[in-house]
Amino acid sequence: MEFNSVTKKLPKHLHKFIVQQPYDSYTAQNQAVWRYVMRLNILTLKDTAHESYILGLKKTGIDEEVIPEMEGMNRILKDIGWAAVAVDGFIPPNAFMEFQAYNVLVISSDIRTIDHINYTPAPDIIHEAAGHAPIIANAEYAEYLRRLGEIGAKAISSPMDHDMYEAIRLLSILKENPNSSETSISEAIKKVNKLQNEMSKLSEMAQIRNLHWWTVEYGLIGTLKNPKLYGAGLLSSIEESRLCLQKEVKKLPYSIEAATVNFDITSTQPQLFVIPNFSSLSFVLEEFANTMAIRTGGLKGIQKLIASKKMGTIELSTGIQISGTFTNVINYGHTPIYFQTNDSTALANEGTELIGHGIEQHPNGYGSTLGKLEGINTAIEDMSPKDLEVYGIIEGKSTSLNFVGGIKVEGEIITGKRDLQGKIILISLKNCLVTHNETVLFDPSWGVYDMAIGNHIASAFAGPADSNSFKDIYSISKQKTTPIIYSDQEKKVHELYEKVKTYRTNNADAVEILKSIFKELIDNHPSEWLLLLELYELVYDKDLSLMNKIHEQLLILKQNKHYSKLITDGLNLIIKK
């Protein structure tokens, strides 16, 4: 991709999710779908959406007539400090959040099919570009979005969260592709429902995802009695943008309680949350962040990492950070006194890997003690050079350190590492034996023992402290978005859309050609309602005879409940224009 001043700041581990926008693969029917949805949304949302929506459309350069090109969007978005990249459908939640933390919108480059013109469970360019992008022109909201990404990227997930992500990704792919069988869609829905029913205690990521859903995707702003729309899911859905304001949809004041309210991507929402203003979003986010392990640390924090079975980081009270997959913690009462990882581990300080302590040094796991020495009130991290000498913690001397809780470290001290403030954060020993009661935690034959110094776990969060320490942080789903295979008849319909698009774009006076297109539609594709609307608009007040014939066919199609509202709205658009 071509990087700009915003995207060039993205860490390399996120690059693999970025794809080339397949602009040339958009059919003329895709362009007609964009045009219909955008024109209708702008017409209806000017009265029901927050004022930032219409203003934001202009600021972000989104045209109602054509699907936006990513390069063009980026040229305009960078003026408000943001950028956009194309991705293949849903990406892992932590990765999605991390993009946001860098002020980058991830935009699924696919566009909904005509069959899902009202709403699609799959992320598409209408939802992403026309739903998310306009609101970020509001500075207060944009900062919330960035901060949500920053905090959400560190949220600890559960193994079931990953299963749910994969299940939802598969379901969205299947439901949006007309080539999918009803059986495969039904099985995918069952799997999503099964996982939802099995999810009891929500992880941090599940709760962050809920907060994201009820604000960024389905948020309302204003008063409970007269709210306006700002969530992208509402702004990009013809159906839900209308339904959400009806009294049947319960309106609740937004609070931290929204973190525990799950959602269903396959149906309309039974309730929505209303914020009084955009600044209130940050208050709730901070309230929730205060409950997360990144701020509370402790035994519960490392236990969350162990349960996640994914790479995470703990930061000790000295500031030293240990990144790896945590598998065990020994605790004394409710206090952790020893921790263990089981694979590649890196040590860092303030987000930068300690020299000589990357995964090459600790390829098979890492363990270290925590806490104070028995009978000594002063923690090692707070000891002066004289204190360290008194207690035998000095280079070149053999020592025996007995920690509170039964951890014993015996060995010869090689050296230590200090941070910029002079606080000791790491002590390395050779010929070292580490035991907990009768259990050996580190054997002298394993090499040098690098003991992290810290009185307690101050923080625990998902992902590495230094992303450069690891080659691969996120995995790409094996389930790829499958291209739609069009039949010969569908290809002929697309050719007709292309002809109509050409005449409209060139403002050509080609009534005779439009008559032939209309005849072919009646003879071979009589239910192609959107193309009929496009024809009707082109001949409106130009050829009364052809206009009436097209109108008659549209009235016939209106008798089908699937087309009735769509055609009515389309005719109103043309008349008002």
Query: What whole-number distance in Å separates Cα of residue 455 and Cα of residue 457?
Result: 7
Residues in Cβ contact with 290 at an 8 Å cutoff, skipping those fewer than 6 apart = 296
Domain that holds residue 445: 308-469
To the nearest 10°, the Cα dihedral for 338, 342, 346, 351? -70
Which long-range CB contacts under 8 A does 129-132 form with residues at least 24 apart? 129/62, 129/68, 129/73, 129/84, 130/37, 130/38, 130/41, 130/57, 130/62, 130/235, 130/236, 131/231, 131/232, 131/233, 131/234, 131/235, 131/236, 132/105, 132/107, 132/216, 132/232
In the structure, what pLDDT confidence band is assigned to residue 334 with cuts at 50, 70 and 90?
Answer: very high
Q: Please tell me whether residues 84 and 132 are part of one structural domain.
A: yes
Q: Please tell me whether residues 20 and 52 are part of one structural domain.
A: yes
Is 214 within a domain?
yes
CB 80 within 8 A of CB 136: yes
Strands across the sheet containing 227-229: 227-229, 220-222, 271-275, 250-253
Is 372 within a domain?
yes
Q: Please tell me whether residues 429 and 511 are part of one structural domain.
A: no
Is 292 within a domain?
no
Q: Please tell me whether residues 383 and 425 are part of one structural domain.
A: yes
- Quickly list H helices, 261-413: 279-289, 293-296, 298-308, 385-390
Query: What whole-number distance in Å separates Cα of residue 136 and Cα of residue 148?
Result: 13
In the structure, what pLDDT confidence band is assigned to residue 73 with cuts at 50, 70 and 90?
Answer: confident
Q: Please tell me whether residues 322 and 228 are part of one structural domain.
A: no
Q: Please tell me whether residues 50 and 102 are part of one structural domain.
A: yes
Q: Give the model confidence (pLDDT) of 507-557 as tens digits.
A: 666 788 889 999 999 999 999 999 999 999 999 888 899 999 999 999 999
Is 1 within a domain?
no
Domain stop point among 437, 469, 501: 469
Q: Please tell me whether residues 532 and 457 are part of one structural domain.
A: no
Q: Please tell me whether residues 391 and 247 are part of one structural domain.
A: no
CB 238 within 8 A of CB 41: yes
- Rounded mean pLDDT of the chain? 92
Q: Please tell me whether residues 503 and 446 are part of one structural domain.
A: no
Please give the pLDDT value at position 198: 82
Domain stop point among 440, 469, 498: 469
Q: Tokens standing for 143?
A: 């900062």
Domain stop point among 232, 252, 287: 287
Q: How far is CA 154 from the centre of its chain?
A: 12
Please give the pLDDT value at position 512: 85
Please give the pLDDT value at position 144: 97
In the structure, what pLDDT confidence band is assigned to residue 577 with cuts at 50, 70 and 90?
Answer: confident
Query: What whole-number distance in Å separates Cα of residue 106 and Cα of residue 124?
Result: 10
Q: Give the model confidence (pLDDT) of 149-158 as tens digits.
A: 999 999 999 9
Is 544 within a domain?
yes
Is 474 within a domain?
no
Is 414 within a domain?
yes
Query: What whole-number distance in Å separates Cα of residue 431 and Cα of residue 429?
Result: 7
Please give the pLDDT value at position 151: 97
**Per mean pLDDT, which range of 50-64, 326-340, 399-413, 421-435 is the poorest?**
50-64
Our count of domains for the chain comes to 3
Residues in Cβ contact with 562 at an 8 Å cutoff, skipping those fewer than 6 apart = none
Percent of the chain scored above 70 by pLDDT? 99
Q: Please tell me whether residues 507 and 387 are part of one structural domain.
A: no
Q: Please tell me whether residues 267 and 321 are part of one structural domain.
A: no
Q: Give the model confidence (pLDDT) of 125-151 as tens digits.
A: 888 888 888 899 899 999 999 999 999
Q: Which helix (H) or strand (E) holds 405?
A: none
Q: What is the DSSP letter of 373?
A: B
- The mean pLDDT value for 369-390 works out to 92
Is 353 within a domain?
yes
Q: Please tell me whether residues 252 and 342 are part of one structural domain.
A: no
